Amino acid sequence: AAAAEAAVEVGGVKIAREDVVKEDDPTNNVPDTIYSKIGLQLHRRDNHPLGILKNTIYDYFDKSFPGQFVKFDDLCPLVSTKQNFDDVLVPADHVSRSYNDTYYVDSQTVLRCHTSAHQAELLREGHRHFLVIGDVYRRDSIDSTHYPVFHQMEGFRVFSPDDWSGSGMDGTAYAATDLKKTLEGLATHLFGAVEMRWVDTYFPFTNPSFELEIYFQGDWLEVLGCGVTEQEILKSNGRTDHVAWAFGLGLERLAMVLFDIPDIRLFWSNDQRFTSQFSKGKLGVKFKPFSKFPPCYKDMSFWINDEFTENNLCEVVRGIAGDLVEEVKLIDNFTNKKGMTSHCYRIAYRSMERSLTDEEINDMQWNVREEVKSKLRVELR
Ligand code: FA5
Ligand code: MG
């Protein structure tokens, strides 16, 4: 508890628990489990898979664009709603702005949900080529590839008319071509020969927008989003008549593939048997699971109410079980003649590090049931 009370420092900003967790403030939805992750900065540990991956991506940009890209890996994750949403043209009614999807410290301040939150300020500071690496926060479901804190790397490159004038392309086509070439080069740098494909998509801040998928172990895996930056963002931040590309990639997704890490919770493990397997500069050393403990499944059924959301349920479970919960999955869903809807969720409990006792699991499940009743006000069946 003492450690949790002490302020953490990120990029010169001191953050105390009471700055982030405000239990009696209805405009705040940040739990202690999330506060306790601030300042850990896994991406700044050279012997951690995320740090190793970050440094390998740095190497690629240093080699491809010597001296051009400025790197920021220590920007404060507390940002204004303006930075996180307005500055990147996220519409007023977009779901990502909801309390169900984003951690709000107060009505004007959030834990950034993407590194795109820093695009505008860095442009205004005059940067034209930059990488931003940081922890990002999202209220989300629970399974082996989703965690409420993960890490992104943002890339941004600005072109001036001189860059594309001789190319026979307009600025947008020129930037899109350069973007795809740059990211295909990065994928090759990380994976060697690999099958990849581009998928058209939508982001409020880019047009056109794409996702890159990599074929890995029989499946297409989305690893990043990117596109040609909306003119309005450049204009508002001192780059009229310029064109830019941007990308945002998920470090955990790439690291899980590169190091064979089967569950996203492992990135947070302090267990020596995990941490000792990775060392500075060694990309792609395959993780050897040190043990495999059986999961324990507990089902829970209840009548939902209008406010019920799966993200809220997951927050309750995470608050009690922490990293001992592996998955929360809807397994049954029906509406009766009276119009009442019942959900049955299956919770998988499993430690990455040891076997759990029956007593421990029953305690957690009992507490989950109590809190689901009291906090979500649903009727257990
Ligand atoms: C974004 O966050 C955009 N800001 C990316 C972007 C930047 C687009 C600049 C265009 C220009 P998205 O929500 O799809 O997009 O997340 C980007 C990547 O983060 C995903 O491709 C995925 O690799 C990773 N990611 C997303 N959600 C999770 C999660 N819950 N756990 C782990 N990785 C995730
Ligand atoms: Mg996406």
Instruction: Spell out the per-residue pLDDT of the chain, length 381, in tens.
Output: 445 557 899 999 999 999 999 999 999 999 999 999 999 999 999 999 999 999 999 999 999 999 999 999 999 999 999 999 999 999 999 999 999 999 999 999 999 999 999 999 999 999 999 999 999 999 999 998 899 999 999 999 999 999 999 999 999 999 999 999 999 999 999 998 889 999 999 999 999 999 999 887 788 888 999 999 999 999 999 999 999 999 999 999 999 989 999 999 999 999 999 999 999 999 989 999 887 899 999 999 999 999 999 999 999 999 999 999 999 999 999 999 999 999 999 999 999 889 999 999 999 999 999 999 999 999 999
Our mutation pick for probing the ligand 1 site, out of 130, 203, 207, 234, counting the most ligand atoms within 8 A of Cβ, is: 203
> 47: CA distance to ligand 1 center in Å?
24
Contacting residues for 74 by C-beta, under 8 A, at least 6 apart: 10, 11, 41, 44
Q: Give nearest CA residue, ligand 1 atom 30.
A: 146
In short, whether 85's Cβ falls inside 6 Å of ligand 1 is: no
Q: Is 265 in the pocket of ligand 1 (CB under 6 A)?
A: no
Nearest in space to 81 (alpha carbons), one of 124, 25, 120, 34: 120
Testing ligand 1's pocket by substitution, the residue of 53, 152, 156, 243 carrying the most ligand atoms inside 8 A of its CB is 152
CATH 3.30.70.380 fits 296-380, yes or no: yes
Q: What is the pLDDT of residue 366?
A: 98
Per-residue pLDDT at 5: 58
Distance CA 102, CA 112 (A): 8
Per-residue pLDDT reduced to its tens digit, 46-63: 999 999 999 999 999 999
Q: Is the CB of 247 under 6 A from ligand 1?
A: yes
pLDDT at 291: 78
- ipTM strictly over 0.90? yes
Q: How far is CA 164 from CA 4, 66, 67, 227, 354, in A?
A: 52, 20, 21, 17, 58
- CA 137 to ligand 1 center in whole angstroms: 11
Start-end ranges of CATH 3.30.70.380 in the chain?
A: 296-380
Residue type, 336: N
Whether the CB of 246 sits within 6 Å of ligand 1: yes
Where are the domain boundaries for CATH 3.30.930.10 in the chain?
2-265
Cα 298 to Cα 128, 154, 162, 293, 346, distances in angstroms: 52, 39, 62, 16, 6
Angle between helices 171-191 and 251-259 (to 10 degrees): 30
* 117 CA to centre of ligand 1 in angstroms: 12
Per-residue model confidence (pLDDT) at position 145 = 86
Angle ∠(187,189,194) on CA atoms, nearest 5 = 50
Backbone dihedral region for residue 329 (phi beyond 0: left; psi -120 to 50: alpha; all else: beta):
beta
Q: Is the CB of 155 under 6 A from ligand 1?
A: no
Distances (CA, A) of 126 to 123, 157, 341: 5, 12, 54
Q: Find the Cα–Cα–Cα–Cα dihedral 135, 117, 181, 177, rounded to 10°.
A: 170
Residue nearest to atom 29 of ligand 1 (CA): 146
The answer, yes or no, to whether the previous bond of 208 is cis (omega within 30 of 0) is: yes
How far apart are alpha carbons 315 and 137 in whole angstroms?
A: 13
Q: Which CATH number describes the domain made up of 2-265?
A: 3.30.930.10
The number of the ligand 1 atom at minimal distance from the alpha carbon of 156 is 9
Q: Which residues of 18-46 are buried (b: 16+ CB within 10 A; e: fewer)?
A: ebbbbeeeeebbbbebbbbbbbebbbebe
